[in-house]
Structure 1
Amino acid sequence: MSHSTAGLQPDAQLDLRGTPCPLNFVRTKLRLEKMPPNALLEVWLDPGEPIEQVPDSLRMEGYGIEQIDDRSEFFALLVRRPVTETEEC
């Protein structure tokens, strides 16, 4: 009865279809920063520049990309917030 194919259940979902770069990356990052460590966010992104740019930008910021699912009209990106944040004052 599980509707998740990979067994990954996102803690939150963000629909950014129709949102241009870099706004989609900024909104994704802001949403992740509000989530607890190790939380999983599902982000819906358009094909083309959004799916090419956003995952790479998130990786460079230290977020874990768990899965990218091609759903024909859009892509579902699963991003995990890291457990350890920088602890420097």
Structure 2
Amino acid sequence: MSNPSFTTIDQTPDAQLDLRGTPCPINFVRTKLRLEQMTPGTLLEVWLDPGEPIEQVPDSLAMAGYPIEAIEDCTNYFSLKVRCPA
């Protein structure tokens, strides 16, 4: 008997941006510039430091109209997945 199929959004990033050690608001600006270069509907994974970066960047992106798909705590940094709007 086969497993039922589930519709899931692909969480494999199309691009990655390592912004660990990058201060605010530079990390937001770099993330936004990278998203503007990407094809609509693609997924960007951004690595951010704990503290101000992970607190500020997702909110700023959401206010700018970028859908946040996931935030994962990777111990020493956070992985933020954001979708380029279609």
One-letter amino acid of the counterpart of residue 80, structure 1: R
Other-structure match for 1:86: none
CA apart distance, 1:7: 5.4
Distance in 2 separating the partners of 1:8 and 1:65: 12
Other-structure match for 2:42: 39
If you compute each CA radius of gyration, which structure gives the higher value, 1 or 2? 2
Structure 2 counterparts to residues 1-89 of structure 1, below 5 A:
8-83=11-86
Cα 1:34–1:7, aligned 2, differ >3 Å: closer, same or farther?
closer
CA apart distance, 1:78: 0.1
Distance in 1 separating the partners of 2:85 and 2:35: 10
- The alignment partner of 2:68 has SS state of strand
CA apart distance, 1:66: 0.2
Distance in 2 separating the partners of 1:8 and 1:29: 19
TM-score if structure 1 supplies the norm length? 0.85
Gaps of 5+ in 1: 1-5, 84-89
Distance in 2 separating the partners of 1:13 and 1:59: 18
TM-score if structure 2 supplies the norm length? 0.88
Percent identity of the aligned residues? Answer: 72
